[in-house]
Amino acid sequence: MGEGQMASEDTILNAQLDVENCVLGIAHDILLAMTSPIFIGVDVGGTSIRAARFNGHTHAPDPKAKHTTQASKGPEVVMQRIERTIREVAPPDLTGVAGVGIIAPGPLDPFTGTILSAPNIPGWENLPLKKVMEERLGRPVFLGNDANLAALAEWKFGVGRGHNDVLYLTISTGIGGGVISGGKLLLGARGLAAEVGHVLVVPDGPLCGCGQRGHLEAIASGPAIARMARARLKAGDGENSKIWDLVGDELNNVTGAVVGEAAQAGDEFARRLIAEAGTFIGRTVASLLHLYNPSIVICGGGVSMLGDVLLDPLRAAVRQYAMSDVYWRDCPIVPAELGDDAGLIGAGALVMEELGGKS
Q: 71: which DSSP letter? A: G
Q: Return the pLDDT at 106.
A: 76
Taking 50 as the threshold, does the pLDDT of residue 28 lie above it?
no
- Gap between the Cα atoms of 354 and 342, Å rounded: 18
DSSP 8-class letter at 54: E
Residue 143 has pLDDT above 70, yes or no: yes
CA 288 to chain centre: 20
Name the percent of the chain lying above pLDDT 70. Answer: 89
- Topology of domain 163-336, per CATH? Nucleotidyltransferase; domain 5 (3.30.420)
Portions of the chain given CATH number 3.30.420.40? 38-150+343-354, 163-336
User: What is the reported pLDDT for 358?
Assistant: 44
What digits encode the pLDDT tens for the residues 168-181? 999 998 999 999 99
Q: How far apart are CA 107 and CA 118, in angstroms?
A: 7
pLDDT score at 56: 80
| Per-residue pLDDT tens digits for 156-171 | 999 999 999 999 999 9
**Structure confidence by residue, pLDDT tens digits, 195-245:** 999 999 999 999 998 899 999 999 999 999 999 999 999 999 988 999 999
Residue from 222, 225, 270, 274 nearest 246 by CA = 270
Q: Report pTM.
A: 0.85
CATH number 3.30.420.40 given to 38-150+343-354 = yes
Distance of CA 268 to the CA centre of its chain: 33
Q: 65-74, 218-227, 261-270, 329-338: which has the minimum mean pLDDT?
A: 65-74
CB-count exposure of residue 302 (10 Å: 0-12, 13-18, 19+): middle
Rounded CA-CA distance 194/200 in Å is 13
For residue 8, the SS3 value is helix
Q: Is 199 helix (H, G, I), strand (E, B) or coil?
A: coil
Read off the pLDDT band of 45 (50, 70, 90): confident
Q: Is the pLDDT of residue 7 over 60?
A: no
Neighbours of 293 (CB within 10 A): 13
* Angle subtended by helix axes 129-137 and 75-89, to nearest 10: 50
Q: Residue 332: what residue type?
A: P
Rounded to whole angstroms, the Cα distance separating 44 from 127 reads 14
Residue 261 above 80 pLDDT? Answer: yes
Nearest to 113 by CA among 354, 345, 356: 354
Residue 3 is predicted with a pLDDT of 53
